[in-house]
């Protein structure tokens, strides 16, 4: 199982970068997790867009789904050029009818996941956890029988995350604020809260992502390390985590 960071900024992309987007691969199956602003351009540095097998979205804020429209046109253009009719499934929750409906296009099919049930996509089993965010949003635990990854998506801190993330090999947290700030209103975690979650859940490694456009990001890692003693990485483009079977 290989996880690659495609985009990691919150709100909007810095120059030449992208907001939330991650690529998960195993046994030739490629799953895109969120598809934020700038993601499509950066993704093409790693794979051919037509090699995707599925996309799954945590929620419909633009910094997590802005490039879905561009991806839909990419599949339209490539299918037309190659005289094919391949369909790309795009999974999202059904609690925002307009945004969910927009997932279906000429060669993409919107499929609603039920967050109360696990979802199997290729070699991956996905469980969902409702986040604390201004709109319906779902974090995910993704397992392949050998390793597990927990992605919080956008959320304020809650003790409920601890059992959900228990013993995950990799934890990717929304880290949009620094220690001492209050992210509960906008629905984001601080660096310290990310460290607390990683420590109490006993995860193997912590990635800090959904990074802010202010301050020194090195401080985020330093603050998280005050409470979590395991390895910490600041998300960056093309950062990879791999665990073989």
For the stretch 204-226, pLDDT in tens is 999 999 999 999 999 999 999 99
d(CA 127, CA 147): 14
Provide the percentage of residues in the chain whose pLDDT is more than 70.
100
d(CA 3, CA 71): 20
Count how many domains the chain has: 1
pLDDT for residue 244:
81
pLDDT band at 245 (very low <50, low <70, confident <90, very high): low
- Residue 36 belongs to domain spanning: 2-242
Non-local (6+) Cβ contacts of 152 within 8 A are 131, 139, 161, 165, 171, 172, 173, 174, 189, 197
pTM assigned to the model: 0.98
CATH of the domain at 234: 3.60.15.10
């Amino acid at each position: 199982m290989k996880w690659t960071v495609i985009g990691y900024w919150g709100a909007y992309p810095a120059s030449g970068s992208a907001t939330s987007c991650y690529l998960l691969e195993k046994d030739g199956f490629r799953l895109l997790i969120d598809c934020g602003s700038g993601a499509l351009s950066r993704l093409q540095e790693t794979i051919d867009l037509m090699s995707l097998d599925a996309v799954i979205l945590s929620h419909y804020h633009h910094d997590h789904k802005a490039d879905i429209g561009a991806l839909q046109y990419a599949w339209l253009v490539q299918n037309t050029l190659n005289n094919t009719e391949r369909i790309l499934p795009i999974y999202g929750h059904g609690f925002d009818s307009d945004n969910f409906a927009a997932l279906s296009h000429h060669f993409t099919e919107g499929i609603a996941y039920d967050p109360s049930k696990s979802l199997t996509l290729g070699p991956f089993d996905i469980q969902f956890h409702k986040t604390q965010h201004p709109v319906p949003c779902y974090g995910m635990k993704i397992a392949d029988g050998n390793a597990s990854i927990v992605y919080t998506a956008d959320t304020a801190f809650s003790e409920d995350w601890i059992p959900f993330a228990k013993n995950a090999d990799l934890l990717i947290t929304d880290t949009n604020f620094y220690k001492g700030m209050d992210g509960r209103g906008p629905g984001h975690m601080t660096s310290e809260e990310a460290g607390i979650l990683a420590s109490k859940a006993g995860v193997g490694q912590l990635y800090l992502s959904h990074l802010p456009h202010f301050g020194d990001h090195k401080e985020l890692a330093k603050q998280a390390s005050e409470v979590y003693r395991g390895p910490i990485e600041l998300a960056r483009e093309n950062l990879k985590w791999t665990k073989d079977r």
